[in-house]
Amino acid sequence: MGEIEGVTVEPQTKAAFRDAELVVISPGVPADLDLLAPVRARGIPVIGELELAAPFLEGRNIGITGTNGKTTTTALTGHILRESGIACQVGGNIGTAPAEMVATSRPEQWNVLELSSFQLETIETFRAPIAVCLNITQNHLDRHHSFENYVNAKARLFETQGPDDLAVLNADDPVTVTFARRTPGKTAWFSGTHQVSGAWLDGEVIKLQGEALLNVQELRLRGRHNYENVMAAALVASWASADNDQIAKAAVTFAPVEHRLEFVCEIDGVAYYNDSKATSVDATLKAIDAFSGGIWIILGGKDKDSDFTVLRGPLRAKARAALLIGAAAPKIARQLGDDTIPVLQCGTLAAAVDKASRSAVAGHTVLLAPACASFDQFDNFEHRGRVFKDLVNALAKGNR
């Protein structure tokens, strides 16, 4: 037991909760932790940090969730609002905790929040007048135990809405579509494949409420999944009173968020991209889809009980080779098989970058999109991405 600035600190035991009147758990702590069962049995509320902050956050909330694309869409939404002269602050899972945002919240502004399933599974009263779900694919099953539990955690964002609120949903995602039945509010759709009542991709043109907004070739973001992120952000901004001209001008100036299909540099005609945030197979599929071919892809890390066999077709169509690193490398090699593409066991990220640089030729792309968590060899995905960029930049300077 100890004390930090007047706060008693002690080990996480049953005794530590004996006199508690309220328990607030960090997003990293499972809501079904065994130690919390006796607390709930005594009728003591167990909430998360988001629910703690909810009554004190001034202004209106925009909640953005989904398996992939949350950070880009949250940052883009904040960028569009600010460039449109609409007061906002950005936080949540993107970096600044909701509780930290309370002091800077104001009645006249929007709180643009990236929200993970870990944050959403414990909400009761938190409400987002605008709520977004980008997509839902299997992820974090080690935490939620089943896909159904994971989906239900995401759905909480919509179940706490009111009748005058807006749900922005992906019309092409079968799970996200079901959230329209779980919100009492209105629904606006976005689609990368067909016309909807909201925003859609018509060839290379994003249309918003029937009007041409912008050509995707104007964007600094690449890949169909990022075009979906732009459509979702555009719908949010429009609902928050930005006009189409403001939205388009802001969207085309937005730079990709670090570690998310981030262009690093070009060396002798070979482009290097850092998508270290691609920690799931679905995210890696989206990264592959963003390129026409000639990919040298770096895969591997800590497995999240993923099925890598679904990578076979896309890799066969677009990749030159897979360079495998980390603990999951043997499993990935087995699941890709011998008839997909050459599979090169590299072990480390440094060895993979070196092998790719010696093999790729002008017009090819070296892509870090691991489909795995980073914790076997790195502190986090940011650390992995920074190491990749350092390795590539050293190559650019001629220092192998």
Q: Is the dihedral of CA 136, 140, 146, 151 positive or negative?
A: negative
Higher pLDDT, 15 or 200: 200
Distance CA(117)–CA(244), nearest Å, equals: 31
pLDDT at 206 over 80: yes
**CATH class in words for 49-251:** alpha beta
3-state helix, strand, coil in the chain (%, to 5): 35, 25, 40
Amino acid 2: pLDDT = 59
pLDDT at 400 over 60: no
| Residues recognised as catalytic | 70, 93, 140
Say how far apart CA 319 and CA 330 lie, in whole Å. Answer: 19
The whole-model pTM stands at 0.81
- The mean pLDDT value for 5-34 works out to 82
Q: Check whether 392 has a pLDDT greater than 70.
A: yes
Q: What is the pLDDT of residue 169?
A: 98
Residues of the chain with CATH 3.40.1190.10: 49-251
Residue 396 contacts residue 267 (beta carbons within 8 Å):
yes
141 versus 301: the higher-pLDDT residue is 301
Compute the mean pLDDT over every residue in the chain, rounded to the nearest whole number. Answer: 94
pLDDT given at position 399? 59
Structure confidence at residue 25 as a pLDDT band (50, 70, 90)? confident
| pLDDT of amino acid 139 | 64
What is the DSSP pairing of strand 166-170 with strand 7-9?
A: unpaired
Domain ranges in the chain with CATH number 3.90.190.20 = 262-396
Mean pLDDT along residues 194-215: 97
More confident residue, 351 or 397: 351
Q: In the prediction, which pLDDT does 330 show? A: 98
- Dihedral pair phi/psi, residue 244, rounded to 5°: -60, -40
The predicted-structure confidence for 266-279, as pLDDT tens digits, reads as follows 999 999 999 999 99
Range 57-77 average pLDDT: 96
Topology of domain 262-396, per CATH? Protein-Tyrosine Phosphatase; Chain A (3.90.190)
Residue pair 67/176 in contact (Cβ under 8 Å)? The answer is no
pLDDT tens per residue across span 276-306: 999 999 999 999 999 999 999 999 999 988 9
* pLDDT level of residue 142 (50, 70, 90 thresholds): low
Is residue 157 over pLDDT 70?
yes
